[in-house]
Structure 1
Amino acid sequence: MKNMNSNLEQSTARVAAAGKAARVVSKRLALLSRAEKDAALGVLADAIEAAEASIVAGNERDLERGRDAGISDSLADRLRMTPERVSAVAQALRDLAALPDPVGEVVRGNTLANGLQIKQVRVPMGVVGMVYEARPNVTVDAAGLGLKSGNAMILRGGSAAADTNAAIVAALRESLERQGLPADAVQLLNGGHEDVQALITARGLVDLVIPRGGAKLIETVVTGSTVPVIETGTGNVHVYVDAAADLDMALEIAVNSKTHRPSVCNAAESLLVHRDVADEFLPRVLRTLADKDVTLHADERATALAGDVETKPVTDEAWNTEFHDLEMSVGVVDSLDEAIEHIDGYSTHHTDCIVTENRAAARAFIAQVDSAVVMVNASTRFTDGGEFGFGAEIGISTQKLHARGPMALAELTTTKWVVDGDGQIR
């Protein structure tokens, strides 16, 4: 207990120092012009590419430790940073530079009868803490989004990616210093769980915390934080094939949503099929999924149509599971209403999809499915800040306040009111 308290005290002091430094830096970042920020992002992208060897080497060490610890293939996929992925995150920084700067944007405004000019303008949050797991690309995305939106970032990545994150942040900080910008615009905490506790309770030093990872991490941050939190949610994602679906399209969407990259949060975990098309569609889709090594958890009606495709009885636990792997729950429903009711009971309000040619059914699905993103005739894999044209993303919010869905530059700002007068008194 004494050692635990000592660790927490050390983490609290470390986070306090980081927060104070970030607070000073945030004032300077708020003054940068778009041209200055965009130029810096381009140089940071070059620095990431120049550091490819050290990043990949650090990643290999992380992966080796992970293999020794018996991590799953899906976790290893989220952790892996190949040369191609290093190039991709560097390009994401360049893409950010090409996007409009949200800082200074006038949200609304007017001139009062007494001549006062009132404007609501976007301004940086200030100091943003990020707690995340496994995916080192988030380190680059968060740093880039933070710089472009004028925020100082304090990052606490998972221990599984410790060496990769250290190599990335070292390259970023060195590049910032070479450009005459404050290195403390990006800081990395590498302590234990006490660092997380200290960060999420650093009220007054940290303006916002964003958790990104599994359900346990998110719950820990949301329930334990005294700092405002934007909750990024887990992805128990559904594809519903309606009675009026184009079945060739439905096959492509269901398979792509599940198998394109099963380890990520926008991959589909459940497939619901209307009874009117189940006889024709399920044998095709189950065979295709099985040929792609997907383990299928099926209800009785889906199992009856599986033919020689092996299935497991679906359980309530399976319907509730975000597999992050080549597994999927499958069931037959009697109506659109039943599909919506099922989704309402199991969805994590991330992304849900309907495949249908019936626009009335699509409208009902859109209106009644309470998710951050609702897809009509499109793969769930498109729920992504980059795919939405936002450049990188810092997470996908499943809450309803401030930000919902893919969060990028605008979601890292708040607003202030500017009142401009020439001596008016009340």
Structure 2
Amino acid sequence: MTFEDQARAAKRAAVTLATLNRVAKDAALNAMADALADAERSVLDANLRDVDRAREAGTSDALIDRLRLNPQRVDGMVGGLRDLARLPDPVGDVVRGWTNANGVQVRQVRVPFGVVGIIYEARPNVTADAAGICLKSGNAALLRGSSSALESNRAVVQALRAGLEAVGLPADAVQLVEGGREVTDELMAARGLVDVLIPRGGAGLINAVVNGSKVPVIETGTGNCHIFVDASADQAMAIEILLNAKVQRPSVCNAAETLLVHAAIADEFVPKALDALAAQGVTVHGTDAVQRYSDQVVPAGPDEFDAEYLSLDIAAAVVDSVDAAIEHIRDHTTGHSETIVTNDRVSADRFVAQVDAAAVLVNASSRFVDGGEFGFGAEIGISTQKLHARGPMGLAEMTSSKYIVTGDGQTRP
């Protein structure tokens, strides 16, 4: 089947999905979850082949962590589909409505996009998450995963399609797009067949899609996430937040990549932070002001404060004030998630007001910036743009809207 054949099949399936009620969608999601649970062994076997091939190719540990599945992660994929079935259906929600003086009723109502193309790297769990979110929001999904996860994605999609067929829905509502770079180019050029394109991965992938696509793009972003420890911070709490944000899962976009410490507490806090990070195997890349506290600190290169390490590495600097921290973040942020740890309400309010990011956190780990943690169910990604959607993208963000105008014969004078 050519890509155009797949896209046209998705377009036909999207017509069916757009008319489904919640009961039908939820039955499909649960059937997809059942089929994926039944296919766990074949999914794990396929994933093992992908992981072995990645190791042989010299892939980094961080990327292999994103690629690897285990029974717990498969259970998470299954649970994510079931969680989506328990969430409200966004399609048909009235965003706003009113009645004009002449009696004409106007309502803005949520509707599906239609066909959603998703281009993503590694992380085969995205395959199930994206398919489920698209189905619940009434969209057909064209899934373009990376070659590194090809066998995993094939096994997952095969199970999801079997679940759809089990409840009498078109399997072409979920399709895996395979082939070389030319197929990705076709997907990005498929305006009229594909309604929205969402890239999810590293900066190179995202920039290539944003700059090269003729299909409208919702831009997800990389996460150069900062933690600023203010002079008034509870230092024990700051250490806990720092370790959770950096170490809990370093290979994801909401992990901390830069630590900023107020100069007023640097002598006390920085040594404690360095010891805590070292105990977790984290390498600190610091400025001169940080290096003087430990000979284990690696000098930070000129571009390292713009880096998304996605590993057990973190950049660190000492700043003179809240304003200096905000200025540093403005210069280096990717607009994902930025954190302040402070007991000063004025500092917190200034940070929240002046830092421009999809999520700003006060005294909490950036690892909370996630669709599941926000109560959205599985997320399609975290948008760092400012149009249509910003932050974790759940079901509502996977819809557009249309105006329904109802009258009883009124005409415009």
The residue type paired with residue 272 of structure 1 is L
* Correspondence 1:117-136 to 2 at 5 A: 117-136=105-124
Matched with 1:363 is 349
Is the CA contact 2:33–2:163 (under 8 Å) kept in the aligned structure 1?
Answer: no
1:114 shift after superposition: 1.5
Q: Could you tell me how far 1:15 is from its partner in structure 2? A: 2.1
Specify the SS of the correspondent of 2:198: strand
2:43 equivalent in structure 1: 55
In structure 1, what residue type is equivalent to 2:362?
Answer: V
Percent identity among equivalent residues? Answer: 58
The question of whether the paired residues in 1 share the 8 Å contact of 2:27 and 2:167 is answered with: no
Q: Which residue in the other structure is 1:324 paired with? A: 310
Q: Judge conservation of contact 2:31–2:166 (CA < 8 Å) in 1.
A: no
Deviations 1:352-387 (A, max 9, x none): 100001111111101111110101000011110000
The equivalent residue for 1:338 is 324
How many residues end up aligned between the 2 structures?
412
The one-letter amino acid of 1:357's match is: N
- 4+ residue runs of structure 1 moved beyond 6 angstroms? none
Residue 5 of structure 1 is matched in structure 2 by: none
Q: Deviations over 1:283-304 (max 9, x none)?
A: 1110110111111101111111
Aligned-pair distance for 1:14?
2.1
In structure 2, C-alpha distance between the alignment counterparts of 1:64 and 1:30, rounded to whole Å? 40
Distance, in Å, in 1 between the alignment partners of 2:268 and 2:108 is: 55
| TM-score, scaled relative to structure 2 | 0.99
Aligned to 1:411: 397
State how far apart, in whole Å, the 2-side matches of 1:257 and 1:155 are: 30
Give the Cα–Cα distance (whole angstroms) in 1 for the partners of residues 376 and 226 of structure 2.
24
CA contact (8 A) 1:15 1:202 kept: no
The residue number in structure 2 matching 1:351 is: 337
List gaps (5 residues or longer) in structure 1.
1-12
Q: Which runs of 5+ in 2 are unaligned?
A: none
- Deviation digits for residues 170-222 of structure 1, max 9, x if unmatched? 01111111210000000101111111111011000000000000000001000
Structure-1 residue corresponding to 2:383:
397
1:17-56 C-alpha deviation (Å, 9 max, x unpaired):
1111111111110110011111111111111111000100
Question: Which residue identity does 2:337 align to in structure 1?
Answer: T
Establish whether residue 181 from structure 1 lines up as the match of residue 181 from structure 2.
Answer: no
Q: Distance in 2 between matches of 1:175 and 1:146?
A: 15
1:420 matched residue in structure 2: 406
Q: Distance in 2 between matches of 1:339 and 1:305?
A: 20
C-alpha deviations, 1:125-163, integer Å up to 9, x for none?
000000000010000000000110000000100001000
The residue that corresponds to 1:218 in the other structure is 206
**One of 256, 264, 274 as aligned partner of 2:262:** 274
RMSD over aligned CA atoms reads: 0.8
**What's the TM-score once normalised by structure 1's chain length?**
0.96
| Local SS of the residue matching 2:2 | helix
Distance 1:149 1:134 in 2: 24
Native 8 Å contact 2:283 2:314 kept in 1: yes
- Output aligned runs, 1:157-306, within 5 Å: 157-306=145-294
CA contact (8 A) 1:74 1:324 kept: yes
SS at match of 1:87: helix
